[in-house]
């Protein structure tokens, strides 16, 4: 039977479930073998699904009924699982989650990156499967309650439990109710290594909200044009290995501190760092990698677009005289740097390297590249482009920073081929 685009839309069909794909879904097969992407199922299961999107080569659907369950299926811990879009794998034991993520990384390098016989190391497991997040960003419902986006839409689901945040955050968020008229879009809550909690209120309004709590709390109002400290301090403090990091409310920092430390240790052991090296840390953020590499090398150059992250970087690297920081987009700064690096560390956003950034990177003739990525699809694409420009893929090491979700971090080493 031949099925054309749109024929399945709005219908309930039976599918056989196969492998996981990046993004949280698994591939089901319709009667004509068309790929149907379905979340919250497992390989080997048979299910009735409702088709929500139907394209020429694939469709998307939601689970209606399991007809045959996998023996690997377990009970989810959270009552909001399958409704809230924050978690994707709570129905799968943690060891199996790691296997799925390793397979997904390998699949992206094979299909997107066009690599053959690629070797992906075993995923470095998180010491904590639950209660690992030091930062949680909540959406705000129309009633002023906190929640997360629904798995199948942009609507906000009000929640009564979440098992991913640190205890300090879990103690706080159920107590928060916001005036709906103030129209805050998001609430970010972050707990530092010292247990101090910082709450960022994001929205267009800078009107002061009323709040009263029985424990200390720092609050920053993140407006569209300026920030306003309402209470306490505008920063968190984090300890990684023996170093303290200052992180402002607007700045990004890894949400799984144990795994951030594991990545730092891996990067430090990846190369024989020495005092003759010049290192670029591109998309350097608040300086997570720079802080530990600076004492080992001759010169370290950071490049970062975020103004708040740059301010934090300056504070976190203040003790080192061999560091410099350029404020701006990597694709704008890198072409103008007249320094030849020995090593470049990349930690770009999900979109990966902009074409101009990749071109400038290749022109720099850097000997070795350490690419840290939160998106295996754009990582595989960029690695293929670098290989075509004269680099060799040396190793792929995934880290699980986000148990119960499809997200996976990777650290890749690439070396320039001798001319």
Would you say residue 6 lies in a domain? no
Per the structure, the complete domain to which residue 23 belongs is given by 12-68
Same domain, 304 and 384: yes
225 and 287 in one domain?
no
**Do residues 267 and 411 both lie within one domain?**
yes
Residue 238 lies in a domain: no
Phi, psi of 81 (to 5 degrees): -60, 140
**Residue, of 188 and 3, whose pLDDT is higher:** 188
Tell me what pLDDT residue 152 has.
76
Average pLDDT estimate for 207-233: 79
Return the CATH number at 378: 3.40.50.150
Residues 265, 405 share a domain: yes
* Angular region, 6: left φ>0, alpha ψ -120 to 50, beta rest: left
110: DSSP letter: H
Question: What tokens appear for 324 in the block?
Answer: 């410099």
**CA pair distance 297, 295, nearest whole angstrom:** 6
Whether 394 and 268 share a structural domain: yes
Write down the pLDDT at residue 3. 44
Q: Judge if 269 and 400 occupy the same domain.
A: yes
Categorize the per-residue pLDDT at 144 as very low, low, confident or very high, splitting at 50, 70 and 90. confident
Same domain, yes or no, for 322 and 368?
yes
Q: What's the pLDDT tens digit per position in 167-187?
A: 999 999 998 888 887 778 899
- Residue 258: what are its φ and ψ, rounded to 5°? -60, -40
Please tell me the predicted confidence (pLDDT) of residue 142. Answer: 86
Total domains in the fold of the chain: 3
Sign of CA dihedral 357, 362, 365, 369: positive
371 lies in some domain: yes
Query: What is the pTM assigned to this prediction?
Result: 0.94
Q: Quick one: pLDDT at residue 177?
A: 81
Q: Are 282 and 385 contained in the same domain?
A: yes
Whether 247 is covered by a domain: the verdict is no
Q: Helix, strand, or coil here: 321? A: coil
Q: Quote the CA–CA distance of 392 and 418 in Å, as a whole number.
A: 10
Share of the chain above pLDDT 70, in %: 95
Cα separations in angstroms, 388 against 58, 357, 392, 397, 417: 30, 15, 9, 21, 11
Whether 110 is covered by a domain: the verdict is no
Decide if pLDDT at 2 tops 60: no
Same domain, 323 and 354: yes
- Say if residue 140 is in the same domain as residue 174: yes
Other beta carbons less than 10 A from residue 75's beta carbon: 7
Same domain, 156 and 228: yes
The verdict on residue 377 lying in a domain is: yes
- Structural domain contains residue 90: no
**Is 204 in the same domain as 327?**
no
In a domain, 301, yes or no: yes
Given a cut of 60, is residue 4 above it in pLDDT? Answer: no
């Amino acid at each position: 039977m031949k099925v054309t685009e749109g024929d399945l839309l709005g219908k309930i069909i039976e599918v056989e479930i196969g492998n996981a794909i990046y993004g949280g879904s698994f591939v089901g097969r319709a009667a004509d073998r068309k790929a149907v992407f379905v979340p919250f199922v497992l390989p080997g299961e048979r299910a009735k699904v409702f088709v929500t999107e139907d394209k020429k080569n694939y469709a998307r659907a939601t689970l209606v009924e399991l007809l045959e369950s996998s023996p690997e299926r377990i009970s989810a811990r959270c009552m909001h699982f399958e409704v809230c879009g924050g978690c994707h794998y709570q129905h799968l034991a943690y060891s199996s989650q790691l296997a799925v993520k390793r397979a997904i990384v390998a699949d992206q390098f094979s299909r997107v990156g066009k690599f053959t016989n690629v070797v992906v190391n075993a995923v470095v497991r998180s010491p904590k499967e639950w209660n690992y997040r030091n930062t949680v960003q909540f959406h705000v419902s129309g009633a002023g309650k906190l929640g997360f986006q629904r798995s199948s839409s942009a609507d906000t689901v009000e929640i009564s439990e979440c098992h991913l945040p640190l205890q300090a955050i879990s103690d706080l968020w159920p107590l928060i109710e916001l005036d709906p008229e103030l129209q805050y879009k998001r609430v970010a809550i972050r707990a530092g290594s010292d247990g101090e909690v910082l709450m960022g209120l994001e929205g267009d309004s800078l009107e002061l909200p009323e709040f009263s709590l029985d424990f200390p709390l720092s609050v920053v109002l993140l407006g569209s044009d300026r920030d306003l400290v309402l209470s306490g301090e505008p920063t968190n403090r984090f300890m990684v290995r023996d170093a303290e990091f200052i992180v402002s409310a607007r700045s990004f920092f890894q949400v799984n501190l144990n795994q951030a430390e594991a990545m730092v240790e891996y990067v430090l052991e990846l190369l024989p760092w020495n005092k003759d090296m010049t290192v670029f840390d591109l998309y350097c953020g608040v300086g997570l990698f720079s802080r530990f590499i600076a004492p080992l090398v001759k010169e370290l150059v950071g490049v970062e677009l975020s103004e708040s992250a740059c301010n934090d970087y300056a504070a976190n690297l203040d003790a080192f005289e061999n560091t410099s920081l350029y404020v701006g987009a990597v694709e704008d700064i890198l072409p103008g740097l007249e320094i030849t690096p020995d090593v470049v560390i990349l930690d770009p956003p999900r979109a990966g390297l902009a074409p101009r950034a990749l071109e400038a990177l290749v022109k720099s003739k850097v000997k070795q590249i350490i690419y840290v990525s939160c998106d295996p699809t754009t990582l595989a694409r960029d690695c293929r482009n670098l290989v075509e420009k004269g680099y060799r893929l040396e190793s792929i090491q995934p880290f699980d920073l986000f148990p119960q979700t499809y997200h996976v971090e990777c650290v890749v080493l690439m070396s320039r081929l001798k001319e």
